[in-house]
Amino acid sequence: MAQPNSDAHQETIHFVKKNNLTSINERWDKSAIKDLFALPFNDLIFMSHKIHRESFNPNSVQLSTLLSIKTGGCAEDCGYCPQSSLYTTEVENTPILSLDEVITSAKAAKNAGASRFCMGAAWREPKQKDLDLVKEMVVSVKALGLETCATLGMLSYDQAEQLKDSGLDYYNHNLDTSPEFYGDIISTRTYQDRLETLENVRKANIHVCCGGIVGLGESLDDRIGLISQLANMETPPESVPINLLTQVEGTPLMGIEALDHFDFIRTIAVARITMPNSFVRLSAGRESMDDGIQALAFFAGANSIFYGDELLTTGNPNVEKDKLLFKRLNIKSI
């Protein structure tokens, strides 16, 4: 949150009063979020940048590297995802990686400059046998001096506790979109299922990484609904990935109208204002953005990226390209 008595703090207080909010982290009414989205673009990113500066060094960006530890063949039907077994895509199903393969990738990520290593699996939820192997992975990755993150689908409280005991720092589980639009995108798991997993992760004292995707064909109200869900959590997520849909051949969302990049930046800015203490991650979709749009995202308050030549199954700007971008913007990686 903005420092008491600073200009950004005063401006936020003014906004809060005008919209009858009692405390900015207490309750973000949808109407207040809607007002933010309706601001002229320059006013919005000026406001989000000022708030960003109050909590973070605006020239530092955190780097997380992803590894798909189990790819494809997923039983879920998420309409954006090339790993669902319901769609015919070019993704090749691969069984879970060995511990050695994961350690080799994690070492490479650390050498390239990542501070966090995130292991993703195309599961509805992990089976105990699989979880046992993931726990070993977490222990080994942590021993390299990296922060650890996993995204394995739904988790029970017991599973979350087991991961916590192995040293897991973050668990990624996204709400993806608003409760109202969710059913248009996913039918095999409910919004409530997702909220329960997030509660289990929070109760186990693992940092929560939770965000969504834009560009799914959702309305502005759906983007407002997603932000409202995230910002009004009892404790907002420590890390908020904002993904821009990467359209993949064979998935139901292939070919839909692409989102205007300025609307993507607006979403980053509103996430920054409503979750002033969270890391906001400029996530999937960077390959479709030029350097100017990415620079604008950092100005608007994004302060984390996925770093490495691949996300899970789709591409990402390569490490050299990102290093050059950071050099041109004088951004320090953390």
d(CA 300, CA 297): 5
Quote the distance between the C-alpha of residue 259 and its chain's center.
Answer: 18
Output b/e per residue, 277-315; b: 16+ Cβ within 10 A.
ebbbbbbbbbebbeeebbebbbbbbbbbbbbbeebbbee
Q: Which stretch binds ligand SF4 (CB under 6 A): 59-67, 75-83, 241-249, 301-309?
A: 75-83
Q: Assess whether 74 carries a catalytic annotation.
A: yes
174 binds ligand DTB (CB under 6 A): yes
Residue 138 vs 213, nearer CB to ligand SAM: 213
Range in contact with ligand DTB (rule: CB under 6 A) among 156-164, 250-258, 286-294, 307-315 = 307-315
- Check residue 120 for interaction with ligand SAM (CB under 6 A): yes
Within 10 A of 74 (CB to CB), how many other CB atoms are there? 23
What count of Cα atoms within 13 Å lies in the side-chain half-sphere of residue 312?
26
The span of 1-9, 15-23, 220-228, 238-246 binding ligand DTB (CB under 6 A) equals 238-246
The residue with tokens 């904002």 is 242
**Contact (CB, 8 A) for 241 and 172:** yes
Is 210 assigned a catalytic role?
no
Least distance in angstroms from the C-beta of 215 to ligand SAM: 8
Binding mask 141-170 for ligand SAM (x = CB under 6 A): ----------x-x-----------------
Instruction: Please check whether residue 241 is in contact with residue 285, taking contact to mean a CB–CB distance below 8 angstroms.
Output: no
Residue 84 binds ligand DTB (CB under 6 A): no
Closer by beta carbon to ligand DTB, 174 or else 229: 174
- Partners of 120 in beta bridges: 68, 151
Q: How far apart are CA 126 and CA 213, in angstroms?
A: 23
The Cα 76–Cα 199 span in angstroms is 21
84 binds, options ligand SF4, ligand DTB, ligand SAM, none, Cβ within 5 to 8 A by partner type? ligand SF4
Is residue 281 among the annotated active site residues? Answer: yes
Interface with ligand SF4, residue 84, by CB under 6 A: yes
Binding site for ligand SAM (CB under 6 A): 80-81, 120, 122-123, 151, 153, 173-174, 176, 213, 243, 245-246, 248, 284, 312
Binding site for ligand DTB (CB under 6 A): 66, 82, 120, 151, 172, 174, 211, 241, 243, 246, 283-284, 311-314
